[in-house]
């Protein structure tokens, strides 16, 4: 599939701020499942450059705005070819070993409810799959259990909501689903991480125009495999992978600081469309 993306993130400040610096994970990963054809990241009046690959294998850019300003407008445009690999991540160059993703974070620290969910699913799988935890079936069973436990209800959580809080509330969004999946997988000794990206269609074929997040779990014999709990599926050619991290904050497409005291507001517009075949 050939997908065109236009993604604009606008920050507005109540008072002009000085020396804005942002770290941008806004460039699609290169692997067997996707290849960027054309891609640009820009911001009027600011410099975007200093590209490097971090240990996760993700390309990171640095944005700097040296002059005082009341607005920063980051524009991403490009075209990507995607292929359906059934969620298996192949050909992605990274240096950090999977076991590093057994670490917990503030957003993914398990509580008793998450432990009970993980151990219950593992127990059921052991009883039906010859006692082989770490299989693909176990991961899919976790997906179903978490999707059953947390209803997808936009606006009920925020960027600081933890996995434990989302499971207790029984509702949330894709970030919450992924955080609980990551937390539960780590309890079972499976390295897991958060992935940020774009979604063109979900499993039912419905069109989306929003950023998306899902989980990847390292499984024996397969390596990293993606799981979109909100849609109860693995990523297909309708997904564009940007970057990964220990949790949503670590994998955030944009992180930054500025000098000056001001209230900040952010607005986002995003379109993901299938390119016309030439």
pLDDT digits (tens, 9 = 90+) for 202-246: 555 555 546 899 999 999 999 999 999 999 999 999 999 999 999
pTM of the model: 0.93
92 within a domain of the structure (yes/no): no
β-sheet bridge partners, residue 60: 52
pLDDT at 275: 84
Mean pLDDT of the region 174-182: 98
Shared-domain flag, residues 140 and 184: yes
Domain contains 48: yes
pLDDT band at 66 (very low <50, low <70, confident <90, very high): confident
For residue 156, pLDDT over 90 is answered with yes
Q: Token pair for residue 18?
A: 């000085």
Encoded tokens for 255: 């992180």
Chain-centre distance for alpha carbon 160 = 15
User: Worst-scoring range by mean pLDDT, 134-138, 168-172, 227-231?
Assistant: 134-138
Three-state secondary-structure class, residue 125: helix
230 and 148, same structural domain? yes
Distances, alpha carbon 83 to alpha carbons 129, 143, 220, 240, in Å? 30, 22, 23, 10
pLDDT at 69 over 50: yes
Structure tokens at 14: 């109540």
Structure tokens at 240: 């564009």
Which structural domain range is residue 123 located in?
98-245
Q: Of all residues in the chain, what percent carry a pLDDT higher than 70?
A: 94
Q: 278 falls in which pLDDT band (50, 70, 90)? A: very low
pLDDT bucket at 127, cuts 50 / 70 / 90: confident
Please check whether residues 218 and 117 belong to one and the same domain.
yes
If asked whether residues 173 and 119 sit together in one domain, one would say: yes
* Same domain membership, residue 102 and residue 238: yes
The conformation of residue 230, written as its DSSP 8-state character, comes to G
pLDDT in tens, 78-90: 999 999 999 999 9
How many C-beta atoms lie closer than 10 Å to residue 266's C-beta?
10
Residue 91, in any domain of the structure: no
Q: Token pair for residue 71?
A: 């607005």
Task: Please answer whether residues 91 and 31 qualify as being in contact, where contact means their C-beta atoms are separated by less than 8 angstroms.
Answer: yes
Among 116-125, 167-176, 208-217, name the one with the lowest average pLDDT. Answer: 208-217
Do 233 and 260 sit in the same domain of this protein? Answer: no
Does 198 share its domain with 222? yes
- For residues 234 and 161, state if they share a domain: yes
Alpha carbon 165 to its chain centroid, in Å, reads 19
Residue 72 placed within a domain = yes
Q: What is the mean pLDDT of residues 245-250?
A: 98
> Do 62 and 160 fall within a single domain?
no
The pLDDT mean for the chain works out to 92
Give the 3-state secondary structure of residue 205: coil
SS3 per residue for 19-70: EEEEEECCCCCCECCEEEEEEEEEECCCEEEEEEECCCCCEEEEEEECCCEE
pLDDT of residue 28: 96
pLDDT tens readout for residues 95-117: 999 999 999 999 999 999 999 99
CATH of the domain at 112: 3.10.620.30
Q: What CA–CA distances, in Å, run from 1 to 30, 78, 136, 213, 276?
A: 15, 14, 26, 20, 10
DSSP, residue by residue, 134-168:
TSHHHHHHHHHHHHHHSEE-TTS--TT--HHHHHH
- What CATH number corresponds to the domain at position 38? 2.60.40.2250
- What percentage of the chain carries pLDDT values higher than 90? 84
Q: Please tell me the predicted confidence (pLDDT) of residue 135.
A: 85
Which of left, alpha, beta for 174 (phi over 0: left; psi -120 to 50: alpha)?
alpha
């Amino acid at each position: 599939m050939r997908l065109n993306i236009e993604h604009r993130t606008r920050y507005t400040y109540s008072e002009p701020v000085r020396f804005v610096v942002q770290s941008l994970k806004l460039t699609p990963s290169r692997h067997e499942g996707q290849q960027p054809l054309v891609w640009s990241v820009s911001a009027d009046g600011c410099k975007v450059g200093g590209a490097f690959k971090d240990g996760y294998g993700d390309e990171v850019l640095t944005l700097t705005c040296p002059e005082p300003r009341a607005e920063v407008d980051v524009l991403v445009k490009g075209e990507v070819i995607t292929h359906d690999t059934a969620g298996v991540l192949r050909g992605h160059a990274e240096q950090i070993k999977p076991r590093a993703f057994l670490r917990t974070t503030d957003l993914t620290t398990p509580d008793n409810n998450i432990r009970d969910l993980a151990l219950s699913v593992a127990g059921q799988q052991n009883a039906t799959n010859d006692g082989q935890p770490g299989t693909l079936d176990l991961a899919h069973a976790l997906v179903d259990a978490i999707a059953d436990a947390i209803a997808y209800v936009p606006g009920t959580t925020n960027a600081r909501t933890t996995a434990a809080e989302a499971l207790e509330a029984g509702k949330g969004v894709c970030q919450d689903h992924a955080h609980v999946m990551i937390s539960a997988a780590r309890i079972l000794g499976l390295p897991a991480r958060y992935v940020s990206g774009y979604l063109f269609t979900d499993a039912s074929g419905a069109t989306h125009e929003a950023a998306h997040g899902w989980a990847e779990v390292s499984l024996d014999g397969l390596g990293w495999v993606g799981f979109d709990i909100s849609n109860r599926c693995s990523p297909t050619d309708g997904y564009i992978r940007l970057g990964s991290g220990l949790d949503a904050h670590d994998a955030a497409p944009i992180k930054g600081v500025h000098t000056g005291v001001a209230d900040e507001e952010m607005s986002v517009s995003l379109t993901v469309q299938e390119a016309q075949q030439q």
